[in-house]
Amino acid sequence: MQRKKLVVGNWKMHGGKGFIEALLAELKGRGPWPSDVAVCPPALYLPQCEQLLASTPIAWGAQDVSAHNGQGAYTGEISATMLKEFGARYAIVGHSERRSYHAENDQLVAAKAKAALAQDLTPIVCVGETRAEREAGHTEAVVQRQLGTLIRNLGARIGEVVVAYEPVWAIGTGLTASPEQAQDVHARLRQQLLAATPAAAQMRILYGGSVKPDNAAQLFAQPDIDGGLIGGAALKAADFDAICRA
């Protein structure tokens, strides 16, 4: 059974009510797409996405989720329970910017993924190496360590996540892993997942790192690349549409 592509727009800390209304209006006029499509706005705008995207083929999700579920004395945190209330389907977990700027380690990333799954949200779990780690030949060791912690913590539920390989050196830099480089890492990740669960054959592994309309088709044509986690290009309807059709 062929895996259907998934393209997710990570808007990061961009947006505003007027901007989002205009962007989504244009996107809705361009669909449907051959791939599954989702957008992840800043959490403040999830209610707006819920309102504007209801009954459309575009899903929505969060850029992060708390490791703590339900409610509690966790100032600034947003739980999976709360995200579910606004119709979120996905939650990005362990993005390199969270790992770098907020010192999130592999164990915390796994705990967040577990909290998302407890509310039937699909975690999009990011793994990837820095430029220094790649140049030192440590890419495989880094991503396997990150994924390994996730596998150990989620157990039988590992097959329910989406994995996103995002080489840190290619995020927002204009640099992109070649299709062959990306495929090599994706194939190794799938191998590691297959050792944990037969469901890995149908798990989607996305590529993230300066994906644009002019390189998306080559990347998505690789056998183990099942779509993309898109940053800057997701903020332009024409570019995002072209990637979703790649």
Is the residue at 31 inside a domain? Answer: yes
Q: Which pLDDT belongs to residue 168?
A: 86
34 preceded by a cis bond (ω within 30 of 0): no
Number of domains in the chain: 1
| 60 is known to lie in a ligand binding site | no
174 domain residue, yes or no:
yes
Q: How far does Cα 89 stand from its chain's mean position?
A: 12
Within-domain flag for 61: no
Q: Is residue 234 part of a domain?
A: yes
pLDDT of residue 182: 94
- Round to whole Å and give the CA distance between 180 and 212: 17
As annotated, the active-site residues are 95, 166
Give domain status of residue 117, yes or no: yes
Say what the pLDDT of residue 176 is. Answer: 73
CA 196 to chain centre: 21
How much is the mean pLDDT over the chain? Answer: 95
Residue with the larger pLDDT of the pair 176 and 69: 69
Q: What is the pLDDT of residue 1?
A: 57
Strand partners for 91 = 62, 123
Answer yes or no: is 11 a known binding residue.
Answer: yes
Structural domain harbouring 211 = 9-50+66-244
Tell me whether residue 160 is in a domain.
yes
- 199-245 pLDDT per residue, tens: 999 999 999 988 999 999 999 999 999 999 999 999 999 999 999 99
Measured at the alpha carbon of residue 110, what is the angle toward residues 7 and 148, in degrees to the nearest 5?
A: 90
Q: Is 231 annotated as a binding residue?
A: yes
Per-residue model confidence as pLDDT tens digits over 117-146: 999 999 999 999 988 888 899 999 999 999
Amino acid identity of 98?
R
Does some domain include residue 33? yes
Residue 240 resides in a domain = yes
State the average pLDDT over residues 12-19.
97
- The pLDDT value recorded for residue 135 is 87
What is the percentage of the chain residues whose pLDDT exceeds 90? 90
Q: Which two tokens stand for residue 14?
A: 């961009």
CATH code, domain with 89:
3.20.20.70
